[in-house]
């Protein structure tokens, strides 16, 4: 089974061109399944013959155990991993049928993303001041996250050549290694220009954002820096870099009246249904405005 998982991972990497993040998630999911099979068949290392004995009933038993500790979204991803893995085994003629095809993916938990208000976002940007290279870098990071709605991993993977300050565009490599162009706001352009000017001569292939040792900045470092700037700005919201992505989308939709399809393109969502969660935020905003403004709704 270990060899099957390794070959499956090579298939995902080479033929499906999946991101390292997705590969790591599938690897963890299948390792959990391998441990379950080892326990079920009372062996140290499950073999291909054990995989051939797996049926939908056994898969449901595995998922029932996971359901006690996993969220629906996590459970859905594990089902997708199993379905894709057995589909690969069928294609490679290693098993006769895919027992995961009949599994039902659970409906995702509905939640509203945490967002900053427009005033809070502006306060956060303005509070990130300073003229040394790290302070200029932090301001450029915040402006770029909020201006473009990037995932933090997309931001840290940017190189200097990925930003066109003249055209005000960012070339982003998103999930599934899909490339997209995202407009860059004027304030973000100004912040990036100041930061790069302070860095001096840079090569196009260099990372856009560097740590204090001159290496590529990590997502964890960006999250720590954001917490620090939130405190400095006096904002009590427990926000993450992804909160700025949510704020970007919500403010475009609610405040700017942007088209949902355009927001989908800028966020890099494969499906419009993923983007539609922001319409719920928009409706909540409209209800609040109505309650505050309509004479028959205002509290006396």
Active-site residue, selected from the candidate residues 78, 83, 151, 246: 151
Clarify whether 78 is annotated catalytic: no
Report, as an integer, the average pLDDT of 111-118: 74
pLDDT band at 266 (very low <50, low <70, confident <90, very high): confident
- Each residue's pLDDT tens digit, 73-106: 888 889 999 999 999 999 999 999 999 998 887 7
Clarify whether 60 is annotated catalytic: no
Clarify whether 198 is annotated catalytic: no
Active-site residue, selected from the candidate residues 175, 187, 198, 285: 175
Active-site residue, selected from the candidate residues 83, 245, 246, 251: 245
Q: Which two tokens stand for residue 273?
A: 């249904």
Read off the DSSP letter of residue 175: G
Clarify whether 294 is annotated catalytic: no
Residues 6+ away with beta carbon under 8 Å from 33: 62, 78, 82
Clarify whether 300 is annotated catalytic: no
pTM assigned to the model: 0.65
Clarify whether 71 is annotated catalytic: no
Crossing angle of the two packed helices 260-267 and 241-254, in degrees rounded to 10: 160
Active-site residue, selected from the candidate residues 50, 52, 60, 242: 242
């Amino acid at each position: 089974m270990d060899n099957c998982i390794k070959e499956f991972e090579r298939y995902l990497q080479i033929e499906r061109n999946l991101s390292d993040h997705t590969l790591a998630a599938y690897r963890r999911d299948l390792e959990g399944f391998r441990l379950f099979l080892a326990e079920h068949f009372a062996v140290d290392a499950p073999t291909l013959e054990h995989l051939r004995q797996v049926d939908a009933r056994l898969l449901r038993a595995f998922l029932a155990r996971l359901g006690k500790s996993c969220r629906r979204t996590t459970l859905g991803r594990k089902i997708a991993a199993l379905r894709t893995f057995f589909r690969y085994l069928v294609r490679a003629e290693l098993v006769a049928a895919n027992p995961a095809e009949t599994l039902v993916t659970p409906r995702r938990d509905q939640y509203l993303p945490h967002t900053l208000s427009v005033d809070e976002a502006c306060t956060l940007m303005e509070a990130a001041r300073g003229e040394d290279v790290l302070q200029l870098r932090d301001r450029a990071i915040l402006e770029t996250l909020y201006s473009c709605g990037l995932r933090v991993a997309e931001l840290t993977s940017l190189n200097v050549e990925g930003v066109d300050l003249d055209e005000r565009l960012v070339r982003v490599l998103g999930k599934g290694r899909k490339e997209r162009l995202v407009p860059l706001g004027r304030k973000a352009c100004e912040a990036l220009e100041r930061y790069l000017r302070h860095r001096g001569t840079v090569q196009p292939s260099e990372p856009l954002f560097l740590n204090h040792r001159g290496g590529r900045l990590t997502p964890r470092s960006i999250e720590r820096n954001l917490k620090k700037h939130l405190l400095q700005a006096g904002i009590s919201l427990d926000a993450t870099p992804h909160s700025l992505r949510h704020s970007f989308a919500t403010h475009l939709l609610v405040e700017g009246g942007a088209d949902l399809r355009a927001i989908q393109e800028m966020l890099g969502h494969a499906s419009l249904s993923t983007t539609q969660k922001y319409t719920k935020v928009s409706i909540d905003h409209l209800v609040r405005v109505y309650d505050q403004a309509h004479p028959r709704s205002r509290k006396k």
